[in-house]
Copies of this chain bind each other. A is one copy, B any other.
Amino acid sequence: MIERRDVFQAIADPTRRMIIQKLSRGPLNIGQIVEDSGITRQGIAKHLKVLNECGVISLTQKGREQFCEARLDQLDEVVDWVNASRRLWNQRFEKLDKFLADTKNNNNETTR
């Protein structure tokens, strides 16, 4: 239960995914994100805090307002994890194929 708040958690919430989608089209200030979101400014601010804490967005003060910018390269962690899992997954089938091939032409220990 220790040290929550990772990228996986960040994109788990649909509202946060919506925010990321909006920001992937370009930087916005909070007001623009709140627009049509159906959520309070404070609610959005909370989500931005989460996203900021795990590096998916960056917040920069600009006069009175605060600009939010996406840092989508942080999502690599997610893609990497999925790909790593799938690599293992596919190896299973390759092994199975190899096994089937080996049993087919019985005693064939060459690499093929």
Q: Mark out the residues of chain A between 87 and 112 whose CB falls within 8 Å of any chain B CB in the assembled complex.
A: 88-89, 92
- Residues of A in contact with B, size category: 20 to 34
Report which A residues bind B (CB closer than 8 A). 6, 8-9, 11-12, 14, 17, 20-21, 24-26, 70, 72, 75, 78-79, 81-83, 85-86, 88-89, 92
A21-B85, A24-B85, A24-B89 known; 19 new pairs, CB 8 Å cut-off, are A8-B12, A8-B17, A11-B12, A11-B78, A20-B85, A24-B86, A24-B88, A25-B88, A25-B92, A70-B85, A72-B82, A72-B86, A72-B89, A75-B85, A75-B86, A78-B82, A79-B79, A79-B82, A79-B83
